[in-house]
Amino acid sequence: MSLIRIHEVGPRDGLQAEQAVVPTEKKLDWIRRVAGSGVDIVQVGSFVRGDKLPQMGDTDELFRILMKESHRAVLSGLVLNEKGLERALEVGVPLVCMGVSASETHSRKNTGMGTEEATGRIIAMALEAESSGRHVQVSVQSAFGCGFEGAISEDRVMSIVVAYLEAGLTNISLADTAGHAYPEQVRRYVRKVLELESGTEITAHIHNTYGLGMASVYAAMEAGAMAIETSFGGLGGCPFTRMAAGNVATEDLVHGLQRAGMRRDIDLDALIAVSREVAGHMGRELPGSVYRTGPIPDKVKA
């Protein structure tokens, strides 16, 4: 757990469900500051149609600007289809993220494709991205349950994982799109993937819809997940699921890790400052805790 990586997805997953579009300059400021805080990866946006998801309409522009700069963090971008991948490759995205929903209903609402078709196309896209010299992360969305269908078969989830592994894709995210995950389930799934291929780099993307987000994150880390996807202030949620709810807050997770002596290389104060600005811009409190309470002091008074 001391080596756990933090993948900040606030600029993408955090903003995609918002009604108001955040100005590009404001996004750039938040991304630069989070990328400079010491987190490992920052997800800048998703390559989707701007008329479908206006909040992501400036993703290409953001990358064109950011790729001319030097950043401590790796920058990632989400693609859903071949056109999105073409755009991502054109602007030089270093880490291309893509995935398949284990829920047939969610898959069709999110991408217009069923799970079987999406699996074949995503694997082909991932291999194309790798052949272009990009790092790739593939995910299983709705891995722990679906807001439309309810429980999702573990066998169905693992069949997608097996398809990835057979294609040589070993950077895999298990995504809790609907927030149905609970710790025992997360622990079991992470261990199951590692049994299939011990060298798999597992990321856990956990939502906090029903209050079990942080507990599930710790279960994932304890079971062997190497990275966690979080969002500033706990903002976010998939707009194509039945009940969109926030992610685990980046600063909450970093605060917990630092209390245990881990990831002290990350500037927690910088993360808190960004989350406070995001909350101010949105005009409301965000789901996270530490940006409101402040961190617990390290030193005990004599």
Confidence band of 245 (pLDDT split at 50, 70, 90): low
Alpha helices (H) in 133-267, listed in sequence order: 154-166, 183-196, 213-223, 250-259
Confidence band of 123 (pLDDT split at 50, 70, 90): very high
Q: What is the pLDDT of residue 5?
A: 98
The whole-number average pLDDT for the span 169-179 is 95
pLDDT at 2 > cutoff 70: no
Nearest to 95 by CA among 51, 48, 42: 42
Tokens for 96, please give them: 């291309």
- Is residue 290 within 8 A of residue 251, CB to CB? The reply is yes
Bridge partners, residue 172, by sequence: 138, 202
Q: What is the pLDDT of residue 55?
A: 95
pLDDT at 242 > cutoff 70: no
pLDDT at 208 > cutoff 60: yes
The whole-number average pLDDT for the span 81-100 is 97
pLDDT at 237 > cutoff 80: no
Tokens for 191, please give them: 């261990």
Lowest mean pLDDT among 1-5, 44-48, 267-271, 291-295: 1-5
pLDDT at 204 > cutoff 90: yes
Question: Residue 37 and residue 22: Cα distance in Å, rounded?
Answer: 21
238 in catalytic set: yes
Confidence band of 228 (pLDDT split at 50, 70, 90): very high
pLDDT at 243 > cutoff 70: no
Cβ neighbours of residue 190 under 8 Å, at least 6 residues apart?
Answer: 174, 202, 204, 219, 220, 223, 224, 225
Domain boundaries, the chain: 5-293
Nearest to 28 by CA among 57, 53, 63: 63
**Domain 5-293 class, CATH top level:** alpha beta
Q: What is the pLDDT of residue 239?
A: 53
Q: What is the pLDDT of residue 129?
A: 98
Question: Residue 246 and residue 239: Cα distance in Å, rounded?
Answer: 11
Which tops the pLDDT comparison, 118 or 140?
140
Q: What is the pLDDT of residue 238?
A: 54
Confidence band of 147 (pLDDT split at 50, 70, 90): confident
Global pTM?
Answer: 0.94
Nearest to 40 by CA among 137, 122, 138, 123: 137
Name the catalytic one among 238, 244, 248, 278. 238
Tens digits of per-residue pLDDT, 148-160?
A: 889 999 999 999 9
Lowest mean pLDDT among 64-73, 76-85, 103-112: 103-112
